[in-house]
Structures are given as structure tokens and as C-alpha cells.
């Protein structure tokens, strides 16, 4: 049985992410484990609360995180997930990674604020350190992203190093939504670009026979300015889920050396990051 672990600090972005996690859970047949990073008693009038949320609202959310999620379950969905909640506020990174690995977590989910007050940085979990130690991907969801079913998923990779296991996972995620998957080939730094005919050969002979999903296409992108290419993928081609591999190829150019407490401003859609 798949389990989705939702990291929550009881902020609006965390609740937004949990709602999307629930949508995915009902479609792929997964249960949900809510992991609280902040105790209710920690939220007092002297402590900053993320994203401008009032303390009273945060306490209400903290007290009812499981109940709130259960209240928005779609009763007509194909699957009604079991929802559990645990307190991880005292966990070290290694302890959380062990929890994820020993419980066979299928997906890790965290909401991201649009901006983060400097005074609240110490309240955020070091999610990069967690990702470096686990085997499941991490889904980061911007607060301002409109909640909806994914329709277009784009995996940014150098086609010569495209991971079939990533595509198999994406097919499992995409199929219940009937979503399309595209591989956006962007040549790795210092490597020559590949011509369309060779790209199509790799795609046809080395990728598609192993992906087991018909709705996968290839985009051989020649644009060398990664920020321009990213704008085209998100705003021009209307992809609504961006896929990267941690610390590989274009990850650091897009995200940075580590995942921060907010996504770069140009990333306005959810990002799915696979471990090494």
C-alpha cells in the first residue's frame, strides 16, 4: 500500500499542500500520514508564524489537521484514504529519514510559501537534508498555485541520462489523471546539443519500450538560457508539474545548491524532485 507523508507546520501553504496530497492519494490509492513539525504549545504570541497566519488560526489548524483533511475527502472518489497524524517536532533529520524509509513512504509532500519572513526561517524543516537520505521523491507545492488535477507533467533531463525509473514512477502518478508526460531534453552543462533525429532514436529505442505509458512525448529544447527555457515550459507550454532529479544536471541552476524555504520566484507550479 502506498503512503504519502505530508509535512505540515500548520500554515496556509501546508494546508494547501495537504489538499493536493489528498487529491493524489484518492486517485492513486494511497493513505496519508500527516507529520506535524510544530507543537501547538510552540505557537504563542511571542513566536513568529509563517505566511502571516494569526496564532489563533494556527492553533485551530494544529488541533484539527487530521479532521480538516478528512472533511474534504471526496466521498465519490475511487479510494478513501486512511489518514493518520504524528508529531515529529522533536525529530532530528536522521530520525525523520528513518521514519520515511522504514514505512515505505511513496511520496513526501511539503507546501512552500511565496515569500518567507527572515524571522520565521528557524521554524522550517531542512527538507534538503531529508531528501538526501530517503528513497522517495519530494513534491513541493507553491502556496499561490491553483489547486487542480495535473494535466501536463514535464521531466527536465539530458535525454542521454534520462532515468527510466523516474518515468515509471511518473506513469503511476499520471495514469489516474490521464495526464501527459513530456521529457524536456536540455543538454547537460558543457555537453553538445543532440540533433532531433538522434534524440528521437534514443526516445524510441531506449526509453519508450521501458516506460510502459503511451502518453509520453519528447521536446528537444535548443534554448541554452535555462531561465528562458523554464519560462517557456511553465508559461508557454502550460506544464503544471515540473520534475527534476536532486543535484543532477539542471537542478542547481533551477533550484540552487539546496532547497530553500521558498521556491525561486520563477517557479509557479509544483516541483517533484527525485533523490539521487
Question: So what's the pLDDT on residue 223?
Answer: 82
Buried b (16+ CB within 10 A) or exposed e, 174-206: bbebebbbbbbbbbeeeeeebeeeebeebbeee
Q: Where are the chain's structural domains?
A: 2-142, 152-243
- DSSP letter (8 states) at residue 258: S
Place of cell 525529530: 91
| Per-residue model confidence as pLDDT tens digits over 15-71 | 999 999 999 999 999 999 999 998 755 544 444 444 334 444 444 444 568 888 999
Question: So what's the pLDDT on residue 117?
Answer: 62
Task: Please state, in angstroms and rounded to a whole number, the distance separating the CA atoms of residues 221 and 172.
Answer: 25
Residue 253's SS3 state is helix
Residue 240's SS3 state is coil
Question: So what's the pLDDT on residue 38?
Answer: 87
Question: So what's the pLDDT on residue 57?
Answer: 45
Side-chain half-sphere of 211: how many Cα atoms within 13 Å?
A: 26
| Per-residue model confidence as pLDDT tens digits over 89-120 | 999 999 999 999 999 899 999 999 988 665 55
pLDDT of residue 153 exceeding 90, the answer is yes
Report the share of the chain in percent with pLDDT over 70.
88
Topology of the domain comprising 152-243: Rossmann fold (3.40.50)
Task: Please state, in angstroms and rounded to a whole number, the distance separating the CA atoms of residues 232 and 109.
Answer: 26
Task: Please state, in angstroms and rounded to a whole number, the distance separating the CA atoms of residues 144 and 217.
Answer: 28
| Per-residue model confidence as pLDDT tens digits over 161-195 | 899 999 999 999 999 999 999 999 988 777 788 99
Grid cell of 30 as nine digits: 494511497
Task: Please state, in angstroms and rounded to a whole number, the distance separating the CA atoms of residues 212 and 84.
Answer: 33
Residues 56 and 128 sit within 8 Å (Cβ to Cβ): no
Model-level pTM?
Answer: 0.89
Stronger pLDDT, 87 or 193, i.e. the higher one: 87
From the number of C-beta atoms within 10 Å of its C-beta (0-12, 13-18, 19+), residue 254 rates as: buried
Q: Which CATH architecture has domain 2-142?
A: 3-Layer(aba) Sandwich (3.40)
Task: Please state, in angstroms and rounded to a whole number, the distance separating the CA atoms of residues 232 and 216.
Answer: 19
Cα-only R_g, the chain:
19
Average pLDDT on 230-259 reads 91
Mean pLDDT, rounded, of the chain? 87
Contacts of 220 (CB under 8 A, 6+ apart): 159, 185, 194, 196, 199, 200
Q: Does 2-142 match 152-243 in CATH topology?
A: yes
Question: So what's the pLDDT on residue 47?
Answer: 46
Task: Please state, in angstroms and rounded to a whole number, the distance separating the CA atoms of residues 109 and 100.
Answer: 12
Grid cell of 28 as nine digits: 492513486
Amino acid at each position: 500500500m502506498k503512503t504519502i507523508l505530508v509535512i505540515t507546520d500548520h500554515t496556509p501553504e501546508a494546508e494547501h499542500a495537504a489538499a493536493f496530497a489528498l487529491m493524489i492519494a484518492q486517485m492513486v490509492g494511497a493513505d496519508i500520514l500527516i507529520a506535524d513539525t510544530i507543537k501547538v504549545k510552540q505557537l504563542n504570541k511571542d513566536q513568529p508564524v509563517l505566511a502571516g497566519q494569526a496564532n489563533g488560526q494556527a492553533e485551530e489548524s494544529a488541533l484539527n489537521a487530521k479532521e480538516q483533511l478528512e472533511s474534504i475527502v471526496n466521498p465519490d472518489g475511487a479510494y478513501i484514504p486512511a489518514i493518520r497524524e504524528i508529531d515529529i517536532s522533536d525529530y532530528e533529520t536522521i530520525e525523520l529519514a528513518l521514519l520515511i524509509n522504514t514505512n515505505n513512504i511513496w511520496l513526501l509532500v511539503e507546501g512552500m510559501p511565496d515569500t518567507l519572513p527572515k524571522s520565521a526561517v528557524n521554524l522550517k524543516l531542512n527538507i534538503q537534508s531529508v531528501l538526501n537520505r530517503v528513497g522517495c521523491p519530494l513534491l513541493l507545492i507553491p502556496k499561490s498555485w491553483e489547486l487542480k488535477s495535473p494535466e501536463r507533467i514535464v521531466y527536465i533531463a539530458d535525454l542521454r541520462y534520462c532515468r527510466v525509473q523516474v518515468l515509471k514512477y511518473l506513469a503511476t502518478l499520471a495514469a489516474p489523471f490521464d495526464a501527459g508526460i513530456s521529457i524536456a531534453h536540455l543538454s547537460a552543462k558543457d555537453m553538445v546539443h543532440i540533433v532531433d533525429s538522434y534524440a528521437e532514436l534514443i526516445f524510441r529505442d531506449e526509453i519508450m519500450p521501458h516506460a510502459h505509458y503511451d502518453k509520453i512525448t519528447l521536446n528537444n529544447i535548443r534554448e541554452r538560457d535555462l531561465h528562458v527555457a523554464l519560462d517557456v515550459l511553465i508559461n508557454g507550454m502550460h506544464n503544471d508539474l515540473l520534475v527534476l532529479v536532486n543535484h543532477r544536471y539542471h537542478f542547481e541552476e533551477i533550484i540552487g545548491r539546496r532547497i530553500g524555504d521558498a521556491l525561486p520566484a520563477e517557479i509557479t507550479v509544483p516541483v517533484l524532485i527525485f533523490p539521487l
